[in-house]
Amino acid sequence: MFAFTVARRYLFSNPSQTALLIVGVALGVTAFVFITALIQGLALRLTDDVTANSAHVSLEPVTRVARVLPSPDADVESVAIVSTFQRRQIRAWAPTVDLLRSQPSVSAISPQISGSAFLVKGEAVAPVAVTAIDPAGLDAISPISTEIVSGDANLGADGILIGVRLAENLGLSAGQPVLFRTDRGVDRLLIVRGIFQTGLQSLDERVAYLSIETARPLFLLPEGVTNIEVKLVDPARARDVAAFLADATGLRATSWQEKNANLEGALVAQAQTGTLIQIFSLISVLIGIASALSLSANRRRGEIGIMRAFGVSKRFIGGVFVLQGLLIGVVGAGIGCISGYALCAWLATLSKPDGTMALPIAPAEGGYVTVFALTTLGAVLASVIPARSAAGLDPLEAIQQ
Amino acid sequence: MSAVLEARAIGMSFRNGDELTQVLKGVDLTLGPGELAALLGASGSGKSTLLSIVGLLLRPTAGTIAIAGECVDGMSDAQRASFRNQRLGFIFQFHHLLPDFTATENVAFPAAAPAGGISVAMRQRARELLARVGLSDRMDFPASRLSGGQKQRVAIARALMNNPELVLADEPTGSLDRVAADQVLDLMREINREEKATFLICTHDEHVAARCTRRISLSDGRIESVISASAGDGGS
């Protein structure tokens, strides 16, 4: 393709100008990659922080409302009242667990009995949110066993795990007994097997874990569970998976995004800000390409005029400038992607004194394919204006100047 | 023998605001095969305009033109561009070679651009033409490294690349010193004789016109005189 040869020679004819142009494009692409990796990294970190110790999808029974029962006597209406606790039960939970196990998007399942209780130690009383689980799946949703700072994670038949703040408030230590009183009015003495420290105040101060079998008589729930917590391979898909599970099971399925609507709103706003910055950096790159090629077209008016006089087609001349744009776009975007990745990878190695990353950057999430495609396409589009201007030159005017 | 160029009643006028300027007023011009004609005239006489019209770079406001027996009046812009590429050659005062290309590539350019590349045959033809204009030792030199006279020789070779029937030259020696100008003129005469290509040279230089076989003088948009030199005339 001769137009490609001409385009390449034109670019090489002024190496310093071409190099500056490519550096400009590469810098724009690097900025794009950096912003994308930073925003994605921040979103991932926030998502991780939120979802690391909680489920991605929660399945619960659909809340039923009291309904008016028909009566043969038209003057009398009866309201059906069902035990509040009964309403929250998933009686046939095993088929639901089987269905969840068959889903490749699901990485962990935890059928649970959740409820409220009090821990009583002498005169000290503390309310706790109880999570009763299968001891084998203790870490399915929240990695508790790795956070044990005292005792162990072996629940047994009469064990309970509590957070470090709760233990401090009640003056409890591992191995000590504590009175457990449920909101159903059932008491039992349990042994504090382990004390965990997740760093999340809500967990460390308010949550207690025990075995689901231990919890059944305490919460008067001999068969069912109150909720099934699910972890996904890709937390970002939680909303879709929740919709599917709601349809498939008839249960109420809540994604972690729904539970954290404020966080999602913040992430969307952050992504929109990032998009604006990306658009402006791309626009500046494209304006640079368009102006540089326009200058080139103007500088080569004489040559273009001669080409037109010799009957070289407008398409050929336009093609030479579009191909220059394409070459600049491809090379600049390629270098920008590499330098952007290198910058992000270096920044990812920087850490604060506590060992956490200095910047929540995700080098792999730099949007490389997107920015490469957009820059290349944009460079071609930016070159259309100088290409049309060059192709439309009047040969006589151009030669005589 | 049919005419290479047959222009009839060529008129050209330009509008500048309310004012209509008539640059050419019914010019008739016929050139036969192998002619070396000089188109003379003072500045503003219309000679460059006539050359541009004959070269299909400008459409006349009146008259008809046939080149090598083919009427070009009704052609579209794309057809005229293709016709220029295949049948006409151009030499301008400012050669405007592509500085980033070698002499050979510059010569081959008019054939290579429509074909999509320089074929072996094109390269061979370009090298023969460069040898013909005395640049055997500069074939692979970038155009930017050639002297003014050498560049104009390359421009002559480039004009001949597609074996044109008519070569149009606009002040071809205007930017050269006397020695280089004489060399270029001698070369054009030689090619004219040997390749049998018809040349129409637009000039205001009597020295150039004296070396041509026909002198066509334009004045105020009309042909004032046509003087043919006898065989062997045309300077030496």
Q: Is residue B23 part of a domain?
A: no
Dihedral angle at the C-alpha atoms of A116, A120, A123, A125, nearest 10 degrees?
-20
Q: Do A305 and B109 make contact, defined as CB atoms within 8 angstroms?
A: no
On whether the CB atoms of residues B31 and B130 are closer than 8 A, the answer is: no
Look at residue B230 in the predicted model and tell me its pLDDT: 55
Q: How confident is the model at residue A79 (pLDDT cuts 50, 70, 90)?
A: low
Output the domain CATH number for residue B87: 3.40.50.300
Number of domains in chain B: 1
On whether the CB atoms of residues A7 and A324 are closer than 8 A, the answer is: yes
Look at residue A38 in the predicted model and tell me its pLDDT: 92
Q: Is A74 on the interface with B (CB under 8 A)?
A: no
Nearest CA in chain B to A317: B113
List, in sequence order, every residue forming a beta bridge with A79; answer none if it has no partner: A68
- In single-letter form, the type of residue at position A384 comes to V
Measured in angstroms, the CA of B142 and the nearest CA of chain A are apart by: 11
Measured in angstroms, the CA of B225 and the nearest CA of chain A are apart by: 27
Distance, CA of A359 to CA of A41 (rounded, Å): 8
Q: Which has the higher per-residue pLDDT, A142 or A380? A: A380
Look at residue A128 in the predicted model and tell me its pLDDT: 95
Q: Which of residues 362-401 of A touch B (CB under 8 A)?
A: 395-396, 399
- Closest in B94, B116, B158 to A1, CB measured: B116
- Which of B50, B86, B92, B93 should be substituted to probe chain A, the one whose Cβ sees the most A Cβ atoms within 10 Å? B92
Provide the number of CB pairs (under 8 Å) joining chain A to chain B.
74
Report the SS3 class of residue B163.
coil
Q: Is A299 on the interface with B (CB under 8 A)?
A: no
Q: Residue A69 pLDDT more than 70?
A: no
Cβ contacts of A311 on chain B, cutoff 8 Å: 80-86, 88, 110, 114
Q: Is residue B86 part of a domain?
A: yes
Look at residue A78 in the predicted model and tell me its pLDDT: 66
On whether the CB atoms of residues B114 and A312 are closer than 8 A, the answer is: yes
Q: Which has the higher per-residue pLDDT, A218 or B178? A: A218
Cβ contacts of B90 on chain A, cutoff 8 Å: 306, 309-310
Look at residue B233 in the predicted model and tell me its pLDDT: 46
On whether the CB atoms of residues A389 and A297 are closer than 8 A, the answer is: yes
B interface residues, A as partner, C-beta within 8 Å: 52, 55, 57-58, 78, 80-86, 88, 90, 92, 94-101, 109-110, 112-118, 158
Give pLDDT tens digits for A150-200: 999 898 889 999 999 999 999 999 999 999 999 888 999 999 999 999 888
Question: Which residue range is the domain that position B175 belongs to?
Answer: 33-62+76-228
CA angle, B110 as apex, B105 and B111 as ends, to 5°? 85
Q: Residue A355 pLDDT more than 80?
A: no
Beta strands in A183-268 (DSSP E): 187-196, 207-211, 227-232, 252-255
Q: Do A316 and B85 make contact, defined as CB atoms within 8 angstroms?
A: no
On whether the CB atoms of residues A11 and A327 are closer than 8 A, the answer is: yes
Q: Residue A205 pLDDT more than 70?
A: yes
List, in sequence order, every residue forming a beta bridge with A131; answer none if it has no partner: A114, A209
B200-224 b/e (C-beta count within 10 Å ≥ 16 → b)? bbbbbbeebbebbbbbbbbeebebe
Least confident of A303-312, A337-346, B114-123: A303-312
List, in sequence order, every residue forming a beta bridge with A151; answer none if it has no partner: A194
- In single-letter form, the type of residue at position A11 comes to L
Q: Residue A346 pLDDT more than 90?
A: yes
Q: Per-residue pLDDT averaged across B6-32, rounded?
A: 89
Looking only at Cα atoms, what is the longest distance across chain B? 56
Cβ contacts of B92 on chain A, cutoff 8 Å: 306, 309, 399
Residue B126 CA to chain centroid, in angstroms?
18
Q: Residue A66 pLDDT more than 70?
A: no
The phi and psi torsions of A167 (rounded to 5 degrees) equal -60, -40
Q: Give this prediction's pTM.
A: 0.72
Q: Is residue B25 part of a domain?
A: no
The phi and psi torsions of A184 (rounded to 5 degrees) equal -95, 0
Distance, CA of A351 to CA of A369 (rounded, Å): 28
Q: Is A305 on the interface with B (CB under 8 A)?
A: yes
Q: Residue B176 pLDDT more than 80?
A: no
Q: Is residue B12 part of a domain?
A: no
Look at residue A348 in the predicted model and tell me its pLDDT: 92
Look at residue B234 in the predicted model and tell me its pLDDT: 44
Measured in angstroms, the CA of A381 and the nearest CA of chain B are apart by: 23
Q: Residue A221 pLDDT more than 50?
A: yes
Q: Is A319 on the interface with B (CB under 8 A)?
A: no
Look at residue B236 in the predicted model and tell me its pLDDT: 36
Q: Residue B71 pLDDT more than 80?
A: yes
CA angle, A395 as apex, A390 and A397 as ends, to 5°? 100
Cβ contacts of A6 on chain B, cutoff 8 Å: 98
Look at residue B235 in the predicted model and tell me its pLDDT: 41
Q: Do B81 and A308 make contact, defined as CB atoms within 8 angstroms?
A: yes
Q: Is A15 on the interface with B (CB under 8 A)?
A: no
Q: Per-residue pLDDT averaged across B48-57, rounded?
A: 91
Q: Do B109 and A310 make contact, defined as CB atoms within 8 angstroms?
A: yes
Q: Per-residue pLDDT averaged across A92-107, rounded?
A: 91
Q: How confident is the model at residue B59 (pLDDT cuts 50, 70, 90)?
A: very high
Q: Is residue B10 part of a domain?
A: no
- Closest in A12, A313, A396 to B81, CB measured: A313
On whether the CB atoms of residues B21 and B31 are closer than 8 A, the answer is: no
Helices (H), chain B: 47-54, 77-87, 103-115, 120-132, 148-159, 178-195, 206-209
Report the SS3 class of residue B96.
coil
Give pLDDT tens digits for A266-293: 888 888 888 888 888 888 888 888 888 8
Look at residue B14 in the predicted model and tell me its pLDDT: 87
Beta carbons within 10 angstroms of residue A23's beta carbon = 15
Look at residue B232 in the predicted model and tell me its pLDDT: 43
Q: Which has the higher per-residue pLDDT, A373 or A397? A: A373
Q: Is A5 on the interface with B (CB under 8 A)?
A: yes
Q: Per-residue pLDDT averaged across B95-104, rounded?
A: 89
Q: Residue A399 pLDDT more than 80?
A: no
Cβ contacts of B113 on chain A, cutoff 8 Å: 2-3, 307, 310, 312-313, 316
Q: Residue A144 pLDDT more than 90?
A: no
Least confident of A310-314, A395-399, B118-122: A395-399
Give pLDDT tens digits for A251-261: 999 999 888 88
Measured in angstroms, the CA of B78 and the nearest CA of chain A are apart by: 7
- Closest in B52, B97, B117 to A2, CB measured: B117
Nearest CA in chain A to B116: A2
Give DSSP secondary structure letters for A148-178.
EEEE-S--TTTEEEEEHHHHHHHT--TT-EE
